[in-house]
A and B are shown apart, each in its own frame.
Chain A
Amino acid sequence: MSNNKKVNIFLLIIAVVLFIFLPRFLSGYMVRVITTIFMYAVIAQGMNIMSGYMGYLPFGNAMFFGIGAYVTAIGMSKGLPFLVVVPLAAITAILFSILLGLPVLRLRGHYFAIATIGMSAAILSVVKNATEITGGAMGTTLPIIDKDPSIVYNYFYLAMFGLMVITTLSLYFIIKSRFGFGIRSIKANEEAAISMGINTTYHKVVAWAISALFTSIAGALYAYWMSFIAPDEVFDVMIAVNTVVIMLIGGAGSILGPIIGAFIIELFAEVAWSAFLEYHLAALGIIIIIIVFFVPKGVSGTIADFIKRKKIRARKRVSI
């Protein structure tokens, strides 16, 4: 292991420890804000593997968030404990991703993105209308943990943080693996990829299943955390829009990008909410435009470019 790598790992471990103890120094409100940031980072990683690494934009990915949330709500209303319900939620989402993915992942580019939006909207309608099971459009409640709220919020902070760390580490190892090279090849040139022995259908479906897994667990935690969910909220297209913005500003196709992006966007959104209450939608719109104009490659991409340019300059100096 190189020294550089050792330093990086050391820094990451320190960051993890810091985040674990951070809530002690923060208000309950900030703890909730940061929990939301972790949640968005997880969803953004689910988008990242598909779009950032494989080049397929799953614009309807909120469906897995919604499925995760609703399976959790329904399971817990039947008396199942949370830890039993979470795997059920994940399995349900994965099954959906495979069943929908097999036909839909044949579509490329725009068509795939749009088909996923359509599916998400269709599932939303089913959830709204299956009132006996889901509680319908008005939403449904989950059992409330019978403890002091600040302790409960700390639980969810840690759980969401843990999920983010696990998700990010998994993605890191996936991307470094053979499978990771497979999906990156699909983004680079699908025709070349298939001629090079890559079973593209298999890779695409598995990647979407992983994406569904990440996203659905975030949904499950969210449902238990909020203890109330409504269909329009957990299947909201805004979830996907936010996630895409987060991925873009952090840098699509980078491991830490979505986390950086989630911090920037969500903290910004908090400021926008409080400073421009009546104009927060426009503020968000303008922020999106500014981001796209000034950091189109995202923060991590821009930094990487900067380092690369520096290196080239250094190399030129040496050769002179």
Chain B
Amino acid sequence: MGLQMLMNATLLGGLYALMGIGFSLQWGISGIINLSYGAMVVLGSYISLEFFNFFHIDPFISMIMSGAILFVIGAIIYRGLLQPFLKGGIVFTLILTFAVRLIVENIILKVWSADYRTIRLAYAGSNFQLGDVYIPLTKFLTFITAGILIYLTYLFMMNTKIGKGIQAVALDKEGAQAVGMDVEKMYMINFALGTALAGLTGSLWASIYSFSPHLLGPLVGKVFIIAILGGLGNIWGAAAGGLLLGFAETAGASFLGSQWQEAIGMVIMVSVLLWRPYGLMGKKFFG
């Protein structure tokens, strides 16, 4: 792999890492495979698009709004839709989150049409050079921002009362209940945090790539792979999984052709599932 390719893979993987963490937390801790996750990411992109078009706000700033709006949406979806059916098992949560996806997809199609949209930043064309390697400025900024957001998520989980509560619930639900913790609230916050991360990813995505409703399905495919690679509910695992997928896709596209990109990811995911069902770095958290 050339150095340029390595750099491209890393920059892509950073964004994937951020995207995968939210999904992994929702699955690993709240126990929900969120098929609407791709829709939440893309919704984040459109929110940034609107802020850019109407108020000329840069996606790197409007991502805060995306995150906040999607946090609220996530909390509502969890409380209103998912929580009553958690005991019903995987069939219910899969189907309900898919229903959410359909509704969001329809809204996106109605409001923004099926066309690809882009946010044209004034500094989109600038890049800098590191030895022989070119680094586009926007991609560099998304990578750094993603890294910071991942670290903030980690700090939140480790150092805040709520974060610690979420971890306690993930490790031992009955125990947490026994000491009087509001378990459902922890699950809800965790789920909402996951959708917020999806929204943040969407805003960052919008600053470098174009987006459309067509992304909804493929993005869910990607977060599946990332979460499985990293081990469910594991922040650093998902981050590593994101980077790994970035490398696999970049390498796969250049050696086999981009049409194999999706298949490569899926084959890696199934192999990891069979070889190490709890992820490459994961320990058994849930399942």
**A interface residues, Cβ below 8 angstroms from B:** 51, 57, 59, 103-104, 106-111, 113-115, 117-119, 121-122, 124-126, 128-129, 237, 241, 244-245, 248, 252, 278-282, 284-286, 288-289, 292-293, 296
Contact = CB atoms under 8 A, between A and B. Distances in A.
B78 interface: no
Contact of B91 (A51, A278, A279, A289): A51
B94 A113 contact: yes
Contact of A285 (B92, B102, B228, B287): B102
Contacts of B81: 289
A103 B263 CA distance: 19
B92, B99, B109, B273 pick with most chain A CB within 10 angstroms: B99
B91 A286 contact: no
B266 A245 contact: no
A118 B100 contact: no
Given A111-B287, A121-B266, A285-B106, 5 more contacts: A118-B269, A119-B266, A125-B263, A241-B98, A281-B109
B103 A285 contact: yes
A111 B272 CA distance: 11
Contacts of B100: 285
Given A125-B263, A237-B217, A296-B85, A286 B103 contact: yes
20 contacts: A57-B94, A103-B274, A104-B274, A109-B90, A115-B269, A115-B270, A118-B225, A122-B270, A125-B262, A126-B263, A244-B91, A248-B91, A281-B103, A282-B102, A282-B103, A285-B99, A288-B102, A292-B99, A293-B84, A296-B92
B95 A282 contact: no
Contacts of A282: 102-103, 106-107
A284 B273 contact: no
Given A114-B33, A119-B270, A285-B100, A57 B90 contact: yes
**Nearest 9 CB-CB pairings of A with B:** A125-B263, A285-B102, A282-B106, A288-B99, A281-B106, A285-B103, A285-B99, A122-B266, A118-B266
B91 A111 contact: no
Nearest to B84: A293
Contact of B274 (A107, A241, A289): A107
A108 B286 CA distance: 12
Contact of B259 (A111, A129, A280, A292): A129
Nearest to B109: A281
A116 to B, nearest CB: 9
Interface in B141-186: none
A60 to B, nearest CB: 10
Contacts of A284: 99, 102
Given A109-B90, A129-B259, A114 B95 contact: no
A278 to B, nearest CB: 7
A143 B273 CA distance: 41
B267 A241 contact: no
A245 B90 contact: no
Contacts of B92: 248, 292, 296
A288 B287 contact: no
